[in-house]
Amino acid sequence: MIKVVPAPDMLIGRRFDIAVAKMLGVSRAKAAVFIETNQARIVGREHERDKSAVLQAGDVVEFELVDEQRPAEPIARNMPIVYEDEDIVVVDKPVGVAAHASVGWTGPTVLGSLLKRGVEITALGAPGRQGIVSRLDVGTSGLMLVCKTDLAYKEMRRQFSEHEVIKTYHALAQGNLKEDKATIEAPIGRAKVSDFRFCVTPGGKEAVTHWDVLERFGEATLAKINLETGRTHQIRVHFSSIGHPLVGDAMYGANPKLSAELGLERQWLHAMQLEFRHPRTHVRTVVTSQYPADLKHALDAMRARHTDGEDGADGM
């Protein structure tokens, strides 16, 4: 089976063997074998079979893995549908579910699970990503909207691209944020030290994050966050850049001891609310979520630590 995939932005400028390894989730040595046997190739440069070739913007990678035996994609049966009508469906995506299929990902996806559950999805959009107008990382839970009709796809894509949709997240940031509300404006680009990390950099894309404090615990702060832009890892990168990485976010500098004590195995970040104009009726529509069990447990544990600390201080 041949699969054609546009070169991911985060891998532009990387050696082809490194890119293939990351895209397929295999070792670099295995990736080199795929390249040498023409099972992985850059379209237009198939004859080169050069593992040291550099991926360029606009490149397309073609895979024909003759020894690949993949199981059928699992269904995310624990993914609630919190809103649905003839045009759109909004799911409460659990952690560990990708937005759509990608090379190297073998877990459940939002799109695949909806289709297997009998939900009709528009054919508009890139192959394998049809109906999707915004995404959440695998490690981030919360609300995600998918379009069922062509009308909805065109209109919701416009609303997201023009920043008309109000996306509200809750995040638990390490440390005590100095202000009760503030805005972070700092461009974000790919970090040179890692294929999958991003950072604040002058050459990056514009990124704007607004936040308001909801609750303070001294060693951490619960904040409500609204995004003007939708850069990859935006909230995680921006809070790390001001010295307050999200609790549980080891990639961006979270304290592993605190994460372990709270029972967290991922960043404390949840997409809580979507507010938009319905694509057909233009009525203002608001969809809300609740904290999933792991984040609620960690937050309750943080509140208990804070209360115990205050009691101890009063008794001194």
The CATH superfamily label for domain 74-158 reads Pseudouridine synthase (3.30.2350.10)
Distance between CA atoms of 90 and 142, rounded to whole angstroms? Answer: 10
pLDDT tens for each residue of 147-190: 999 999 999 999 999 999 999 999 999 999 999 999 999 999 98
- Give 86 or 308, the one with higher predicted confidence: 86
- Residue 141 one-letter amino acid: S
Confidence (pLDDT) at 314: 42
- Give 65 or 245, the one with higher predicted confidence: 245
Confidence (pLDDT) at 46: 67
Give me the mean pLDDT over the 127-136 stretch: 89
Which among 171, 165, 158 is positioned nearest to 90, based on CA atoms? 165
3-state helix, strand, coil in the chain (%, to 5): 25, 30, 45
Catalytic residues: 137
pTM of the full predicted structure?
0.77
Q: Tell me whether domains 2-64 and 74-158 share a fold.
A: no
Residue 72: φ, ψ to 5°: -60, 145
Residue 70 confidence class, pLDDT cut points 50, 70, 90? low
163-316: CATH topology is Pseudouridine synthase (3.30.2350)
251: which DSSP letter? G
Give me the mean pLDDT over the 196-215 stretch: 93
Distance between CA atoms of 272 and 136, rounded to whole angstroms? Answer: 12
Confidence (pLDDT) at 39: 87
User: Which runs of consecutive H residues, i.e. helices, occur in the chain?
Assistant: 16-24, 28-36, 110-116, 150-161, 234-241, 256-262, 293-314
pLDDT tens for each residue of 259-297: 999 999 999 999 999 999 999 999 999 999 999 999 999
- Residue 227 one-letter amino acid: L
Q: How far is CA 151 from the centre of its chain?
A: 25
Distance between CA atoms of 76 and 60, rounded to whole angstroms? Answer: 30
| Residue 39 structure tokens | 């099972």
Boundaries of every domain in the chain = 2-64, 74-158, 163-316
Instruction: Please give the CATH number for the structural domain made up of 2-64.
Output: 3.10.290.10
Q: At what angle do helices 16-24 and 28-36 cross, to 10 degrees?
A: 110
Confidence (pLDDT) at 60: 87
